[in-house]
Structure 1
Amino acid sequence: MALTHTFINKLTPSDKCTPNRPDKYSDGDGLQLWVRHTGNKVWVSAYRWQGKQQTLTLNKYPAFSLQEARKRNLEIKQLVADGINPKEKKKEQQASQDGSRLFDTIAQAWYAERKTYLAPSTYSRNYSAYMRDVKPAIGNKIIDDITPPDIIAIGKAIEARGANEMARRIMAEVGQIFKHAIRNGLATYNPASDLSATIKPHKTKNHSRITSKELPQLLTDIDSYTGHMTVKLGLWFLCYTFVRTNEIRFMEWSEIDYTDKVWRIPAEKMKMDRPHIVPLAPQVMQILHQIKQLGFSDKYVFFNPSTRKPYSQNAFINALYQMGYKYKMTGHGFRGLASTTLHEQGYMHEAIELQLAHEQENKISKAYNGAQHLPYRTQMMHEWANYVDDAFAGKTDNLIIMPKAQKVQNG
């Protein structure tokens, strides 16, 4: 029989009512009113979850009226029908009122702290991975409710994409966030410890890239690309300069030296944590002029007007995929292509390695000189840009080898 306010108001604890066994009165559909031995009256919703009987306390009567209890009971039934555990949902709602113990709240504070000392490219890569792979899975969970299987599931989902090392890195970062939470009294244990073994080691493969014989067709396809103009120009820029994709993503107008026609990249933006100089051939200066005329950003060169921030890590690789180069070419592939071709043509190994911003093989000195062999590298980069243009025109036999005397003079 459905309850009424009149009936509820008359209820008092029965002789059988004890601290551990309240009187229970049903309103139907799992909604119950429990009368405790103290005389307090509490609404409780009974439901089945994964085959087991469960109860969820709603609120006290009369603070929570009969109508409010019935409405809340229906909401609980809908959660169950949608495959959501009402108890977990209640925990999330309680945590969101305070928010301090939600995993995402703690993670955001940790990333904000790291942003102050990480290279922008590293921070962007790690934070983007968190927002894409971690937050949707456990961001709204109370940190102490997160279990090792929750974290393993995140790693396995990333592993399924073939990104095994990324899976290991992200799982390790989740562990670092837990350590931060423990230090600040927001968690009691770290469920992410020693989980990397659950991810299979990934056999290292070289970055996919085309050969010099395939370069003319790639350049023709880039020229025909109909996506964002800045992405198209960025692919040409990568080809001419063979810098890392992350380096051009965060390239700033203030880093361009128009007098010397070089791009001076600060140390904090470089993988090897040292400043780098990129000579800019006339073709590259023309690209920069075109982008400047678009007026998208006063700070960043390769700026996405749609998102109002620099292009994502996948912008250039996705463009190559759209052109049919999946598993054939990557942004990093331009570096391998240039290195192989320049070495085959007899250019100075040390100059090529310096231009690629690789770590010096002999590691003689940590006092890296970014201007070393700069005149030689400048001419090499100009000749490489001309070679790219010749390849686009269908002529690939015109790469000039520097005269030996000039190599000695500039070396």
Structure 2
Amino acid sequence: MPLTHTGINKLQPSNTSIATKRPDKHSDGNGLQLWVRYTGVKSWISAYRWQGKQQTLTIGTYPIMSLQNARQRNIEIKRLIADGVNPKDDKKKTQADNDGSRAFDTIAQRWHDDRKAHIAPTTYSRDYSQYQRDIKPFIGHMNIEDITAPDILAIGKSIEARGAADMARRAIRQTGQIFKQAIREGLTNLNPANDLTEALKPHKVKHHSRITSQQLPKLLQDINAYDGDLLVKLGLWFLCYTFVRTQELRFMEWSEIDYKAKIWRIPADKMKMDRPHLVPLAPQTMAILEQIKALGFSDQYVFFNTSTRKPYSMNAFITALWRMGYKGRMTGHGFRGLASTTLHEQEFMHEAIELQLAHEKENKISKAYNGAQHLPYRTKMMNEWAKFIDDAYAGKIDNLIRADFKQQAQKHG
């Protein structure tokens, strides 16, 4: 039975395909097949016989190549066979005739190669794997100037359909970065990936478990009494003082620390929002860094797992919190929520708090982003926050609404 657009849109990888990683094959007739791969990618395949042997040729992906266009291309392949031309030889000739340097995949490979020496291995592996899995099959073969916004959006939509909304946004952002590479090289003037994330489903806020403000003094005392890995313990203190994401903490490098300015300069490729971030370092955090530096574990990473010789795994800090009895009650991300709530309650400037949290906001703050915006104010705010953490640990406050803290916030505002 011939395929239909409605039927194709409903097709999903079968359990067998997912288990065996072999595609499900759906026939349209006349040798045209649609292979639904275990990743969800739908590829058009033309099956034919050449010199007595069964052959297959990939001719495109759905929905970038429509059903009608796939049928037309399949007819062209049959005509080549009738004329005594092997369709695969014709495809190779066509590819050779095209300028390979303008192919999206060629540019993407250069972009990934350039980044490899400057980013964490896990970040490179994550991004390159996503490119190979989710982006290249759709547009890797296309000329950079032939790719349109709908082509890129189709990539995001296909990933979104798997229930991976964050990955869909990341794929579109990566595609946009590759287009920026092409613009720098003079291969194109446009970036069709701009603003496409707005066409995806609204991002659902995930609330991470965290303690209440009244429980903060007890948590800080438990962290100080933690008898596990020393660098994990110091890392938890660093999260308390800076409320960065654990991902950013895990891959923190000594080269990113500006000792003179007392600022941690996180490069864009390590940030969730793909833009550089500045973290003012209070005296307490500088003291932690000096303590770690004296241990001499790693010349590259700050929070270094001496057992694996690599940065800590994503579970290192959450596991430590669980060992302290905070399973289901507190996460590494919870320090961010706690700081945000408290600083807002104490009437620090909302814009400065959001900038320090490196939040993505669809407003004037993000669209005209400047990493140094309100930096003197943020530095004072971070110093006040560090003093507040110390007072909470020392038990000098009964709750987080403290008169002098509030007055200090108003003074800075």
TM-score by length of 1: 0.53
Where 1:401 maps in the other structure, the secondary structure is: helix
State how far apart, in whole Å, the 2-side matches of 1:405 and 1:207 are: 29
CA distance 1:282–1:177, change in 2 (3 Å): same
TM-score by length of 2: 0.53
- Cα distance, 1:380 vs. partner? 0.7
The gaps in structure 2 that reach 5 residues or longer are 1-107, 142-156, 166-202
Equivalent in the alignment of 2:272:
271
Deviations for 1:157-214, whole angstroms, at most 9, x for unmatched residues?
xxxxxxxxxxxxx9x888539939x97xxxxxxxxx9798687999864011111111
Deviations for 1:334-361, whole angstroms, at most 9, x for unmatched residues?
0000000000111110010011011244
Equivalent in the alignment of 1:49:
none
Task: Determine if contact 1:343/1:349 at 8 Å carries over to the other structure.
Answer: yes
Equivalent in the alignment of 1:98:
none
Q: In structure 1, give the amino acid aligned to 2:252.
A: M
State how far apart, in whole Å, the 2-side matches of 1:323 and 1:360 are: 34
Task: Determine if contact 2:115/2:124 at 8 Å carries over to the other structure.
Answer: no
State how far apart, in whole Å, the 1-side matches of 2:241 and 2:320 are: 17
Where 1:207 maps in the other structure, the secondary structure is: coil
State how far apart, in whole Å, the 2-side matches of 1:111 and 1:319 are: 39
State how far apart, in whole Å, the 1-side matches of 2:252 and 2:316 are: 15
Equivalent in the alignment of 1:103:
none
Task: Determine if contact 1:249/1:311 at 8 Å carries over to the other structure.
Answer: yes
Tell whether 2:373 aligns with 1:372.
yes
State how far apart, in whole Å, the 2-side matches of 1:200 and 1:372 are: 32
- Cα distance, 1:407 vs. partner? 3.5
- Which aligned pairs between 1:167-246 and structure 2 lie closer than 5 A? 175-176=133-134, 179=137, 205-246=206-247
Equivalent in the alignment of 1:254:
255
State how far apart, in whole Å, the 1-side matches of 2:124 and 2:385 are: 33
- Cα distance, 1:306 vs. partner? 0.7
Equivalent in the alignment of 1:318:
319
The CA RMSD over aligned residues, in Å, is 3.6
State how far apart, in whole Å, the 2-side matches of 1:317 and 1:377 are: 27
- Which aligned pairs between 1:347-386 and structure 2 lie closer than 5 A? 347-363=348-364, 366-386=367-387
State how far apart, in whole Å, the 2-side matches of 1:204 and 1:356 are: 15
Task: Determine if contact 1:238/1:245 at 8 Å carries over to the other structure.
Answer: yes
Q: In structure 1, give the amino acid aligned to 2:232.
A: V
Tell whether 2:409 aligns with 1:401.
no
Deviations for 1:121-149, whole angstroms, at most 9, x for unmatched residues?
6x72695899xxxxxxxxxxxxxxxxxxx
Where 2:265 maps in the other structure, the secondary structure is: strand
Higher Rg of the two aligned structures: 1
Equivalent in the alignment of 2:332:
331
Q: In structure 2, give the amino acid aligned to 1:401.
A: K
Equivalent in the alignment of 2:151:
none
State how far apart, in whole Å, the 2-side matches of 1:200 and 1:360 are: 20
State how far apart, in whole Å, the 2-side matches of 1:223 and 1:112 are: 46
Where 1:209 maps in the other structure, the secondary structure is: coil
Q: In structure 2, give the amino acid aligned to 1:179.
A: P
Where 2:405 maps in the other structure, the secondary structure is: coil
CA distance 1:357–1:195, change in 2 (3 Å): closer
State how far apart, in whole Å, the 2-side matches of 1:335 and 1:318 are: 18
State how far apart, in whole Å, the 1-side matches of 2:220 and 2:315 are: 19
Task: Determine if contact 2:360/2:366 at 8 Å carries over to the other structure.
Answer: no
State how far apart, in whole Å, the 1-side matches of 2:302 and 2:391 are: 26
CA distance 1:280–1:203, change in 2 (3 Å): closer
Task: Determine if contact 1:351/1:377 at 8 Å carries over to the other structure.
Answer: yes
- Cα distance, 1:366 vs. partner? 3.6
Deviations for 1:13-32, whole angstroms, at most 9, x for unmatched residues?
xxxxxxxxxxxxxxxxxxxx
